[in-house]
Structure formats: C-alpha cells, structure tokens
Amino acid sequence: MRNLLAAAAACFVLPLGAHAASVTVNLTPGTLFTTDQIGAFATTGGDMDGMLVTGTFAGGASETLTFNGTGGTAGSTGAGSFSVALNGNSFTESWSVNVSSGLLTSLQLQGAPGDTIFDVATSLAGGSTENSANGWTFEETSNLSGAIVATYSNNVALTGDAPVGDLYESLFIDLSGLAGGGLSSTQTLAFRADTDNAAAGSSVVPAIPLPASFPLILAGLGALGLTRKRRKA
C-alpha cells in the first residue's frame, strides 16, 4: 500500500465543464477508518442503508435523515425539509437533492453507519486501494450558479494497511456559495460522487489507536533483549 497523503489538506479546483457552478474539492485525512475488505465498487442506493445525511439550513438549524433504499427524506423541524436520492449506481448516475422548504446551506454524508465509502478518482489520490477501482470525484451536474465546496474527510484503509488516500468516510458539501446563498425549493442539486462498500461481514469503523505508552513498551522490550544478548556474550 502507498503511504498516506500529506497531513495537510490537499485542495483541488475542478474545471467547470458543462455546469455553471464552480467546484472546489478538498481532501483531508481527518480520523482514520478501516475496513477488512472492499466488497463492491459499483454501489447503488440500496447498498447504503444506514448512511447518515445531515442538512443544515440558513440560520444554523439542521436535521438528519437515514439513507434507506435509494434515498430518504428528513422530517420537518421548522427550519426546512430535504430529500436525497440515488437511482442506479454511484459511478455512472447522479445523486439528487431536493428541498421542500427552507434554504439548504450544506449537506454532510457520513458513510460509516451504512458501511459506505466515498471513492475519489485515482488520478486525484495518486493510487487505488486494493479491490477499489478508479473512483469519481464530486462533480455538480445540475447547472446551478455560484460556487460549491466539497470536502472529503476521514481516510479509509484496509485493516492493517496505511491509507492510499483514495477512500474517505465522509463527504461535506458546502452550498452557501450558490446564487441566493444555498439550495432553495425551486432548485435541484444533482451531483456525481462514487462510493464503494465494505464486504459482507465487514464494517467501516474508526481505527483503534495504539496506546500512548506502546512505543515506550516496545523500546523497553528492545532494551531488555539487548541486555540479555550482552549477558550471554
């Protein structure tokens, strides 16, 4: 496995292409997550049951939906309400976000509860995790005006290996730079963002950190072994 990307956040501005909104993509290592094995690299909405999606509205109020099947709808909290859907697989098809009321300023997708992993393009990451094909980095496809910032965070690695930098547990989409300050009920946000899944029987979980004293224990064992060798000599 290749070494971890630099700890400092990497920032990339994608070309505008056919859409009007400018898109900036950030990659931040964040908290390391691990999984035993990648199970699928052409995932559909039905593979993501349990993923959490939090929408934040103008004024700061937020609500969270649990992804179920092809998507899900959050209940109204007075701040507004929104829905997220994915029909087909995430590599070739677009996600869609709709707002029934309020002004949506950001969207946070947390994949771990649904054993979902966000997969950016190999050319952007500099490599590909084993059993994870080339991903597709966030791209807006709905022809909105303004600017969008998409931030991938929390590297995902195979258990026992260092992360390559192509897989992430979380995707945060900042919509506050859109014309009007966010996504309104008269608009639909469509975007492409590829995902993988953990293999059956595996989970996407935070890596277990080594105790702070572990390096000292190893150093002590090494010193003890050296002392014994000297005594034998």
Residue 172 scores a pLDDT above 90? yes
- ∠ CA 46-165-32, nearest 5°, is 75
Q: Tell me the average pLDDT across 206-225.
A: 58
Q: Measured between alpha carbons, how far is 191 from 153 in angstroms, rounded to an integer?
A: 18
pLDDT for residue 34: 98
How many other CB atoms are found less than 10 A from the CB of residue 230? 8
* Domain count along the chain: 1
Whether 185 is in a domain gets the answer yes
Report the distance separating Cα 199 and Cα 135, nearest Å: 17
Report how far Cα 224 is from the mean position of its chain's Cα atoms: 44
The answer to whether residue 3 sits within a structural domain is no
- Could you tell me the pLDDT band of residue 79, with boundaries at 50, 70 and 90? low
pLDDT for position 219: 52
**Cα 150 from chain centroid?**
10
Rounded Cα gap, residues 155 and 27, in angstroms = 9
pLDDT recorded at residue 1 = 33
pTM above 0.85, yes or no: no
Give a yes or no: residue 4 inside a domain.
Answer: no
Supply the pLDDT for residue 91: 92
Q: Is residue 5 part of a domain?
A: no
Task: State the pLDDT at residue 67.
Answer: 85
Q: Domain of 225?
A: 10-232
pLDDT for the residue 146: 97
Q: Which of 22-26, 94-98, 218-222 has the lowest mean pLDDT?
A: 218-222
Per the domain annotation, does 2 fall within a domain? no
Reduce the DSSP state of residue 41 to 3 states and report it: coil
Tokens coding 75: 């209940």
Mean pLDDT (whole number) for 32-60? 90
CA dist 56 and 64 (Å) reads 9
